Copies of this chain bind each other. A is one copy, B any other.
């Protein structure tokens, strides 16, 4: 067989060397045994094969006499592909802290921990697709840039081309000058369209084309010409004024008419409202894409950029929603238990503070507890009053549950079972959640899991036009902003429900990794967009 990968460790003895090679496909890698008669064995004698070097080793798989691994490769040839200077290569044999590794995000996937995290992450992503596809959900790509706002779910990043010219050439990366080929291609496109316009005008004379068709073609031609000219000009940046000032209206406000999208635009905080559009046309759908928060939180639980899974079910109520959320989590957990045993064992031994696989197995096996918010508050109040448990914060009906309360529920009351809490007071939930008949609560649900706390949150959506309009007014939003969202209730409205899962939280839950920055390949947080 042929081993191709990166050297983790080398133990060179007089006549034989042991080289541990890892290609990232599994935690343990394979040990190659190289004796001096192997072709190219001199690279070992020379000390060129060091930790971090890339190698190709050919040989035969044999049973390993050592206890550490079952098989090893008896090398017939060894080839050094790329060296790694031991005096500067940052990843040496010793264990590095996860914090240190964050500073070398381009090398950390070569470590045991980050490699294992990314294999589990990959399997969870695939399990997400196999689950929803096998249940006939349609995958929908909701937009990343949006001029809409999802319930003010959080601070938003602005997306703009207005600053392109506002800082001279120093700050923005110099746009690569358009290559001659690009300029020529743009000119060619314009020329082609010119010919098309000509032909169309002839056709119009012959009565075979309408004025609208000609006008449309001319419009396209003008746009193509503008593009070609912009490309040919070395200074003009697309859509951006070449001045150092942000363009302003007469009243001093920013002139967004000059921005790329002609109005203030933002990075999405949730694809839910867009997913509802598709659920109200194609029944069950799901999203799986990046979402953003511009909140200045430097904690181990928050990222500025993270991936979310947001299923949306049509002709469905909160019960269906909870059933789906529970089945989805169980599927994910069963999938990683089946495909990532070696990695999970590694986390269990080195990272997670509990018996990880045991915990996951029990999640997959048992029904989740389901209680109302009101019952949850009663549990907490009773524990506080009896002195059975001391809480930092009191709770009373109408306030959100603190993480200490949520942990008490999942860990103590329900003995490390996931708990779904439903029917929250409407005052602490978003306007689009369906009002219950009591007039005080909404059909919202949070799934709480031991260790992580809230893993998913969802709701049945308000499908009654009049109720939704009233709720929008009550919370002080503008009905006009939500015209298309209201249209879904105006034309063929259906009961529907969905939930959102922070994908990184799921990876944390299945690995026990404490800091969310270690479960995403390139974490973004205040002050950090490196790599």
Contacts and interface: CB of A to CB of B under 8 A. Distances in A.
A238 B173 contact: no
Contacts of A224: 299
Interface string A484-515: 11011111111100000000000000000000
Contacts of A175: 152, 155-156
Closest 8 CB pairs of A and B: A152-B176, A24-B282, A181-B400, A82-B493, A109-B281, A223-B298, A261-B529, A54-B492
A267 to B, nearest CB: 7
Contacts of A220: 298-300
A239 B485 CA distance: 30
A159 B267 contact: yes
A498 to B, nearest CB: 16
A252 B315 CA distance: 57
Report the copy number of this chain in the oligomer. Answer: 2
A428 interface: yes
Given A157-B260, A290-B290, A315-B4, A494 B109 contact: no
Contacts of A264: 163, 167, 171-173
Given A160-B158, A163-B246, A171-B254, A526 B239 contact: yes
18 contacts: A54-B494, A107-B487, A122-B138, A126-B133, A126-B139, A145-B292, A151-B176, A157-B159, A157-B160, A158-B172, A159-B159, A161-B294, A167-B254, A189-B403, A226-B296, A239-B526, A244-B252, A289-B289
Nearest to A108: B281
Interface in A212-254: 216, 220, 223-224, 226-227, 230, 237-239, 244, 246, 252-254
Interface in A89-119: 89, 99, 105-107, 109-110, 115, 118-119
A106 B488 contact: yes
Nearest to A147: B529
Contact of A54 (B182, B393, B493, B522): B493
B141 A282 contact: no
A163 B254 contact: yes
Size band of the interface chain A makes with B: 35 or more
A89 B484 CA distance: 12
Contacts of A195: 392
A295 B238 contact: yes
Contact of A278 (B109, B136, B149): B109
Contact of A521 (B53, B274, B494): B274
Given A89-B491, A261-B527, A283 B23 contact: yes
A173 B149 contact: yes
- Tell me which of A244, A485, A526 has the highest count of chain B C-beta atoms within 10 A of its own C-beta: A526
Contacts of A166: 246, 254
Given A99-B216, A154-B176, A155-B161, 7 more contacts: A4-B314, A82-B463, A107-B281, A145-B304, A155-B239, A167-B254, A220-B300
A167 B253 contact: yes
A53 to B, nearest CB: 5
Contact of A227 (B149, B297, B495, B527): B297
A525 to B, nearest CB: 9
A36 interface: no
Contacts of A292: 144-145
A188 B290 contact: no
B520 A141 contact: yes
A144 B144 contact: yes
Interface string A263-291: 11111000000100110011100000110
A105 B276 CA distance: 12
Contact of A522 (B142, B216, B267): B142
A173 B153 contact: no
A479 interface: no
Contacts of A400: 179, 181-182, 184-185
A52 interface: yes
A6 interface: yes
A256 interface: yes
A480 B149 CA distance: 38
Nearest to A231: B295
A402 to B, nearest CB: 5
Contact of A158 (B107, B164, B278, B522): B164
Contacts of A295: 227, 238
B157 A140 contact: no
A450 interface: no
